[in-house]
Structure 1
Amino acid sequence: MRKAVVHLVLLLSALYSVLPLVWLVTSATKSLGDFSTTSAFAFGHWNLGANLSGLFDQDGGVFLWWIRNSLLYAGLGAVLGSLICTAAGYAIAKLTFPGRRLLFALTLAGVLVPTTALALPLYLLAAQLHVVDTFWAVFLPLLTNPFGVYLARVYADAAVPGEVLEASRMDGAGELRTFFTVALPMMRPGLVTVLLFQFVGIWNNVFLPLVMLTDPKLFPMSLGLYQWSTRVTQFPQYTPLVITGSLLAVLPLVVAFVVLQRQWRSGLATGAVK
């Protein structure tokens, strides 16, 4: 009975996660009229090609700008942000310097602060720097993530032996060389885990671009599709465009998890065991 309950809970959780994606796939094949004549999970008259054509032609092809922006925000932001978080976590875990404990306590406090609470201070700071409604207003704040620093600190403490670092220093390597050539390869599963969290968080981020940006050509896909979705009640023709665009927006996340799942699962398992 206990196993049956566990399997039932897992099945319900899987359905809860997968059914919206199934609905997204089937709905992307429908025309506007098919939504009122077909059931939720039934395919339409295979209107996917027309939906894609309309998606890329709408508003002068602005969706192509949104794809480029999302790749820049999430791609560069995830790579640079995960590297910064990993370096910070490694420093807190393995280097001795004044205020290390206080710095880690502030990092933990930062994890508890909701991102919405930081939107107004970030906007005021961006206004002082005259970067509002620019690429940098969204990109720069995404390079730091207290939760990523916390994960990297925990992983570095468990995966990087202090003896190996001491041996590297005795061989004449500096701190930067020790980090990049010795510690970072050992922390690769943890780095991938932080990178995935960074990528997903930036890719799905709507609130920060909503506060910072007014130029549609700077919008990421998340914000652009949100803006289109607000027009659906007045202009129903946006419905298939929003659904098809949402399907395209999900695909990079699926690819990222499939490609990096081995390293990601290894990082989580190692952290749990240690």
Structure 2
Amino acid sequence: MHAAAPAPAAPPPPPTVPAPRPRGRRRSARTPSALLSKAGVTAMLALATLYTLLPLTWLLMSSTKSREDLFGTNGFALGDEVHLADNLQHLFTADDGVYLRWLINTVLYAGVGALLAAVFSVAAGYAFDKLAFPGKEKLFSLVLLGVMVPGTAMAIPLYLLAAKAGLVNTFWGVFIPGLVFPFGVYLARVFSASYVPDEVLEAARMDGAGEFRAFCRIAFPMLAPGFVTIFLFQFTQIWNSFFLPLVMLSDQDLYPVNLGLYVWYSSALTQGHPEDYLLAVVGSLVAVAPLIAVFLMLQRFWKSGMTAGAVK
């Protein structure tokens, strides 16, 4: 008698495949986060814009008021155009027109100083990038070290050096330190590496051009965006400089605008001259105008210079 054949084993159940999530739900889950990110960026930009414009708005509104309205009305309330004209006339005639002298001093310190500092920085940055000389990288390390040292920390050593050279309380004691701009040298080397091809310089040397002529005729025009960027940085830094003139100068005829406005503001607070407070407010508004004008005139070169390395 034969044994019954074993029954065939049942086939294993097919593996269960998880059902795909509906795409509409995934999109709806990502949409709120994208909206929140966009809203967050927009809010941060709005706050930054508000932070920038509020002081300027307060200056403009306060400059249109009389001294009584300045302390008796809302800070953002608009005054009268007649008061603005009177305040400007009083600003340029107070103390025998000393504000105009302060403004001319600041233009010389910042305008001429930043122009020469930009020329020196571009020439030094080009030399560090394109020329070979002994100890180049060590010298450039010293330049980077100068970038990390804040300007206020150098005021006292500069005063001691100026005292040795007899430059304290002179125009040159404030003007000469503005010609040194280590960060500008660093930027110039970056711009030189991005803007000036080595092949163009080699072709110029083969045609008989010397290094100085190659720099002036070929490299410098290519470095124009970097030159403008360095000029704007140094112009703003010198224009806003306060501690170095405070340490170096005692003659009010040599003061820059910032130091002169500080004298008026201190006079209003400590010596009981409230009219000097209005002079400080209107003078601050006039002192901001050249900075805005320079940035508006040179913004095309400045934008191209700031984005130079992004497309290399």
The alignment's TM-score, normalised by the length of structure 1, stands at 0.98
Structure 1 residue runs of 4 or more that deviate by more than 3 Å after TM superposition:
none
Matched, 1:14 2:49: yes
Residue 221 of structure 1 and its aligned partner are, at CA, apart by: 0.6
1:235 aligns to what? 273
1:24 aligns to what? 59
Residue 92 of structure 1 and its aligned partner are, at CA, apart by: 0.6
Matched, 1:143 2:143: no
Compare relative contact order (CA 8 Å, sep 6+) and give the higher one, 1 or 2: 1
Q: In angstroms, what is the RMSD of aligned CA positions?
A: 1.0
Q: Deviations over 1:240-272 (max 9, x none)?
A: 110110011000000011000000000011123
Task: Output the CA distance in 1 between the equivalents of 2:46 and 2:284.
Answer: 25
Kept in 2: contact 1:26–1:44 (CA 8 A) = yes
Residue 238 of structure 1 and its aligned partner are, at CA, apart by: 0.9
State which structure, 1 or 2, has the greater radius of gyration over its C-alpha atoms. Answer: 2
What amino acid is the match of 2:139?
L
Kept in 2: contact 1:38–1:44 (CA 8 A) = no
Task: Output the CA distance in 2 between the equivalents of 1:272 and 1:201.
Answer: 25
Q: Kindly, what percent of the aligned residue pairs are identical?
A: 54
Q: Deviations over 1:112-165 (max 9, x none)?
A: 101111111111111111111111000001001111111111111111111111
Matched, 1:259 2:297: yes
Secondary structure at the aligned position of 2:203 is classed as helix
Bigger shift: 230-239 or 183-192?
A: 230-239
Task: Output the CA distance in 1 between the equivalents of 2:221 and 2:57.
Answer: 38
Q: How does 1:118-133 map to 2 (within 5 A)?
A: 118-133=154-169
What amino acid is the match of 2:289?
L
Matched, 1:63 2:128: no
Secondary structure at the aligned position of 1:168 is classed as helix
Kept in 2: contact 1:86–1:152 (CA 8 A) = yes
One of 214, 239, 259 as aligned partner of 1:223: 259
Matched, 1:93 2:126: no
What amino acid is the match of 1:254?
I
Q: Deviations over 1:51-89 (max 9, x none)?
A: 112211222211111011011111100110100011111
Q: How does 1:167-246 map to 2 (within 5 A)?
A: 167-233=203-269, 234-246=272-284
Task: Output the CA distance in 2 between the equivalents of 1:147 and 1:28.
Answer: 36
Task: Output the CA distance in 1 between the equivalents of 2:309 and 2:300.
Answer: 14
Unaligned stretches of 5+ in structure 1? Answer: none
Kept in 2: contact 1:132–1:213 (CA 8 A) = yes
Task: Output the CA distance in 1 between the equivalents of 2:148 and 2:169.
Answer: 28
Secondary structure at the aligned position of 1:98 is classed as coil
Kept in 2: contact 1:32–1:240 (CA 8 A) = yes
Residue 20 of structure 1 and its aligned partner are, at CA, apart by: 0.8
Matched, 1:74 2:110: yes
